Amino acid sequence: MDKKTVSTIAYLSRLSLYGENEDKITKDLENIIKFVDQLDQVDTENIEPLASPLEKTAKTRTDNITAKNRKEVFLERSPKSNDDYFLVPRVVE
């Protein structure tokens, strides 16, 4: 795992690895990836991946509206909002 890969992955994750941490984290990631590379040794041909230990099918809900307007409750928890909207720095498209 090189620095460029780490920086791409960091960008995808919206994290910055500033200064002294960068080398250490790159090394840690490398070691962890090496560690999980052990999985390579197992033959998994034709094995269906297991995404959940519950091998069941989903319960679903009927199409009903159950939510109430909780605009104030939500907006007051936001780091930045006005009376109607969550606010972020202007996005230019």
Partner 1 sequence: MSVQYKSIKELKNMLNNRDISHTELIQETFLNIKNNSKLNAFITLNEEESLKKANNLDNIAGSGSLAGIPIAQKDLFCTKDLKTTCGSNMLSNFIPPYSATVIKNLENAGCISVGKTNMDEFAMGSSNETSFYGNVQNPWGENLVPGGSSGGSAAAVAAGIVPAASGTDTGGSIRQPASLCGISGLKPTYGRISRWGMIAFASSLDQAGPMARTAEDCALLLNEMCSHDEKDTTSIDEAIPDFTENLNSSIQGLKIGLVKEFDLSKLDNDVVQIFEESKKHYESLGAEFIEISLPNISLSVPTYYVVAPAECSSNLSRFDGVKFGKRCDNPKDLEELYIKTRSEGFGDEVKRRILIGSYVLSAGFYDAYYKKAQQVRRLIKNDFDSAFKNVDIIMSPTTRGAAFEAGSKGDDPIQMYLEDLFTIPANLAGLPAMSIPNGMVDNKPIGLQLIGNFLDESRLLQAAHNFQISTDWHLKTPSGSKS
Partner 2 sequence: MSWETVIGLEIHVQLSTDSKLFSGGSTSFGAEPNTHVDLIDLGLPGVLPVANRGAFHKAIRFGLATNAEINQTSTFDRKNYFYPDLPKGYQITQMALPIVGKGSISIEVDGEEKIINITRAHLEEDAGKSIHDLFDGETGVDLNRAGTPLLEIVSEPEISNAKEAVAYFKAIRQIVTFLDICDGNMAQGSMRCDVNVSVKKSDDTELGTRAEIKNINSFKFIEKAINFEIDRQIRILESGDSVVQETRLYDSVKNETRSMRSKEEANDYRYFPCPDLLPVVISDNELKEIKDNLPELPDEKERRYVEESNLDSSEAKIIASSKTMANMFEGACAKTNDSKLVANWLVGDISALLNKDNIDLQESKLTADNFALLIERISDKTISGKIAKSVLEEIWETGNNVDAIIESKGLVQIQDESLLEKIAQTIIDNNPSQVEAFKGGKDKLFGFFVGQVMKETQGKANPQSVNEILKRLLS
Q: State yes or no: residue 87 binds partner 2 (CB under 8 A).
A: yes
Closest to partner 2 by CB, 47 vs 65, is 65
Instruction: Tell me which residues in 14-43 interact with partner 1 (CB under 8 A).
Output: 14-18, 21, 24-25, 28-29, 31-33, 35-40, 42
Question: What does the buried/exposed string (b/e) look like for 53-71 if buried means 16 or more CB atoms within 10 Å of the residue's CB?
Answer: eeeeeeeeeeeeeeeeeee
Does residue 44 interact with partner 2 by CB under 8 A? no
b/e map 21-51, b = 16+ CB within 10 Å? eeeeebeebeeeeeeeeeeeeeeeeeeeeee
Q: Which residues contribute to the site for partner 1 (CB under 8 A)?
A: 1, 5-6, 9-10, 12-18, 21, 24-25, 28-29, 31-33, 35-40, 42, 44, 47-54, 56, 58-61, 70, 73-74, 77-80, 86, 88-91
